[in-house]
Amino acid sequence: RQLEETTTRFQVGSSFSGEQALGGAFTAMASWIEDKEPQQPASLHLVKQFATEGIQLDELFFLQQDSRLALTTTLSSSQHQFEDRKVELHRQEELEAFCAELGEDLILKRQLSLPGAIKALPGGSRVTGLGPVGADAADQEGPTLTDLKKIQLPTSVFLCVEAIRSTTYFSKEGGSEGIGESVPSELLESLPPEIRTALAERQEAYQAYQSP
């Protein structure tokens, strides 16, 4: 199933414009991000700004170690965050699994399901504070990743979902191997209608791809 096909020509370092099904018309800027490893190729970073409710789409194209192309997309809005979350960590293995999926910016790299959690934490969730188990609000705000790794258990971790992040992987033959993680329904409902419709179509295609 083909959802959309667009062609956009641009020069890295210069602003450009375009239009796509997810978000409509946009203005954008592209840049190269050098890898920390000298032998690895640079990643291509596109930042697309849409007029719809301050929506921004970050696209990061990079090569994996097996030389396959991957695309990480991060959808955010300057006008609102999507929701707040709290997760309780009781065991060291839960804390280690949680920290392993966090970047230095305390943002989850991908969707994460923890034992005992009713709902998975969406990729793009950012840690905002820590507190005792059962607390309704954090008593330690703005922790670092080092703080979190050394926290005394059990603890409550407070997060805000400021972005929706997923990764698409491509085969060497040029085909796509899925379109990343599905977007939780409660997050879809908080988005503008045109964005919600486009994401829902992508989610449907992803589920169809996974079905035998």
Q: 29: closest CA among 37, 20, 41, 18?
A: 18
What local confidence, expressed as pLDDT, does residue 178 receive? 47
Q: 12: closest CA among 36, 34, 37?
A: 34
Q: Which positions ≥6 away from 113 have C-beta within 8 Å? A: 120, 121
Preceding peptide of 154 cis, ω within 30°: yes
Q: Which positions ≥6 away from 60 have C-beta within 8 Å? A: 33, 43, 44, 45, 46, 71, 72, 73, 74
What local confidence, expressed as pLDDT, does residue 30 receive? 95
Q: Return the biggest CA–CA distance within the chain.
A: 52
What local confidence, expressed as pLDDT, does residue 203 receive? 58
What local confidence, expressed as pLDDT, does residue 188 receive? 60
* pLDDT beneath 70: ranges in the chain: 1-5, 53, 78-81, 116-118, 171-212
What local confidence, expressed as pLDDT, does residue 100 receive? 93
What local confidence, expressed as pLDDT, does residue 17 receive? 92
Q: What does the pLDDT look like over 40-85, one tens digit per residue? A: 788 999 999 987 767 888 889 988 877 778 888 888 876 666 778 8
Whole-model pTM: value is 0.62
